[in-house]
Amino acid sequence: MHKLVILLLTLEPILCAKDEFPADFLFGIASSAYQIEGGHDANGKGASIWDHYLRLNPALVRDSTNGDTACDSYNKYEEDVSLLADLGVDFYRFSISWSRILPTGYSNKINPDGVRYYNELIDGLVARNIRPMVAMYHWDLPKPLQDLGGWTNPLLSDLFEDYAKILFENFGDRVKLWITVNTNWMGYGDAQFPPLLNQSGIGEYLYVKNVLLAHAKVYHLYNREFRSSQNGQIGITVDGRWYEPATPRDQEAAERTRQFYIGTVANPIFGDGDFPKLVKERVDELSQEEGFSRSRLPKFSREEVEYVKGTYDFFGINIYTTFLTKDVEIEDGSEPSFGKDLKAELHHDPKWPESNSFWLKVVPWGCRRVLNWIKESYGNPPIFITENGFSDRGELDDVDRIDYFESYLNAVLEAIHEDGVQVRGYAAWSLLDNFEWTSGYSERFGLHHVDFADPGRRRTAKSSARWYKDVIERRRLDAPSDTLKTEL
């Protein structure tokens, strides 16, 4: 009898630990410059592609709005820092506007007000014991650089390195977590998203290769000139939706989709230094059939493979949802496109709970599966979940958002404790209701409501903010109900 009691007492901390986050796990919250800052032309800031294209064509956005003022965080950053401090987060993941630091995109003209703004934000965070996690680029490319072709131009990797050096010199003494690029090639293969290139099957791959070279240049720059004195970490963020086979016959289609959407960015850095073999073979073959003299997928030279491989301290991933993936037939002779290369149809299970975004369904088991896929594919690198969030219509009592966070964080705990995935931190998206790209202000992701009819952009904490604060304080979740189970 006594032995049984001793055994149960010994096991109890182990069982409880499955509901607890590791002692060194970091809780954070995220935002991005164009979505919250406003001050689009304030005090020397240059125009980004979002400033330019939304002014040219307001109809690109569902409600014909823009980010000219957004949450006015350019002027209200001190209030935002207070909100962060009240939540008790360990880190704040935000992005720097390239155009606010370098109005033309080039390093010969530094905007003093941009340096002032981010210094004051960073100082405010550090004073509250909040670690800045800074993304150098989150989609808002300076317009003059887009005039050169944007990320389709190899020169951009050099210009990005110049920009990064200025960031390290001005902020690196306090910023120890850097994200080079929050990757997204939308707008390179379509005409729905700036920069509207509409070069499907070509633009996406040029974007990826040049982003990867830019990332690697910044990583090597940091190693050469800053790591020994600043002692920070460098990562990149990948879009990490999970792609589940629609039927047992669609296993290959699901893996092909993972390699095209995740592997094209991740494999060169975290894998063997090159695009995934499956991606290379498929695009090379189709390009030849389509009459191209060379593959639409650009090649990495042997030197570039070695230069890009291993350029990371952590793997950043944005996790929101899951798609069912079905193999589809493609008509011979059709025009080249990313969809043709993919040869897959993506859809949702109608039974999955919905959000206020057509693409975002609540599928927590997909979070666990994508984390495990990264572990198995790339040797279990340290992972930061740099975005995870749920959209609604701005309700203050946002119980659906709380359910979403609880289910996804439970999946993260299972990945850590049961699967051994090295998840080091988690950033909820987002601190504030903000400008949600081409959806404008019609979709709300914030833990704090923003009144966009109020010139002062009044912020109000939602129920989810109080819930997240409690989780951070206790560093654990309540035992999951059967509906939250996410076993593989």
Q: CATH number of the domain at 66, please.
A: 3.20.20.80
Q: Whole-angstrom Cα distance, residue 297 to residue 312? A: 23
Q: What's residue 17's pLDDT?
A: 64
Is residue 126 in a domain?
yes
> Mind listing the pLDDT tens digit for each residue in 3-55?
333 333 333 333 336 889 999 999 999 999 999 999 999 999 999 999 999 99
Residues labelled catalytic? 387
Calculate mean pLDDT across residues 294-304: 98
Q: Whole-angstrom Cα distance, residue 100 to residue 102? A: 6
What ranges in 105-202 are assigned the alpha helix state H? 112-127, 143-146, 155-171
Going from the C-alpha of 240 to that of each of 265, 366, 417, the distances in angstroms are: 11, 10, 20
Q: Which amino acid, one-letter code, is at 177? A: L
Q: What's residue 333's pLDDT?
A: 67
> Mind listing the pLDDT tens digit for each residue in 164-189?
999 999 999 999 999 999 999 999 99
Is residue 15 in a domain?
no
The percentage of the chain sitting over the pLDDT mark of 70, rounded to a whole number, equals 94
Is residue 40 in a domain?
yes
The owner of tokens 């589940």 is: 244
What is the side-by-side strand order in the sheet with 344-347?
A: 242-245, 322-327, 344-347
**Tally of helices (H runs) and strands (E runs) in the chain:** 18, 13
Please count the structural domains in the chain: 1
Neighbours of 441 (CB within 10 A): 18
Pair of tokens at residue 488? 């593989």
Task: Let me know: does 193 contact 186? Beta carbons within 8 Å.
Answer: yes
Instruction: Look at the chain and count its residues.
Output: 488
Burial class of residue 59, CB neighbours in 10 A (0-12, 13-18, 19+): exposed
Q: What's residue 16's pLDDT?
A: 38
Calculate mean pLDDT across residues 472-479: 90
> Mind listing the pLDDT tens digit for each residue in 61-100?
999 999 999 999 999 999 999 999 999 999 999 999 999 9
Q: What's residue 14's pLDDT?
A: 38
Pair of tokens at residue 316? 């950043």
Helix, strand, coil share (%) of the chain residues, nearest 5: 45, 15, 40
Q: What's residue 330's pLDDT?
A: 77
Q: What's residue 479's pLDDT?
A: 56
Is residue 10 in a domain?
no
Is residue 428 in a domain?
yes
> Mind listing the pLDDT tens digit for each residue in 235-259?
999 999 999 999 999 999 999 999 9
Pair of tokens at residue 372? 């495990």
Is residue 6 in a domain?
no
Handedness of CA 437, 442, 448, 453 (dihedral sign): positive
Residue 405: which H helix or E strand, with range? Answer: helix 399-417
Calculate mean pLDDT across residues 251-268: 98
Is residue 401 in a domain?
yes
Instruction: Assign 332 a pLDDT band (cuts: 50, 70, 90).
Output: low
Burial 348-370 (b: 16+ CB within 10 A, else e): beeeeeebbbeebbbbbbbbbbb
Q: Whole-angstrom Cα distance, residue 486 to residue 201? A: 35
Q: What's residue 334's pLDDT?
A: 72
Total-model pTM? 0.94
Q: Whole-angstrom Cα distance, residue 386 to residue 390? A: 14
Distance of CA 475 to the CA centre of its chain: 23
Task: Detail the DSSP E strand segments found in 20-148.
Answer: 26-30, 91-95, 131-137
Is residue 12 in a domain?
no
Given a cut of 90, is residue 323 above it in pLDDT?
A: yes
Tell me the residue range of the domain where 324 lies: 24-484
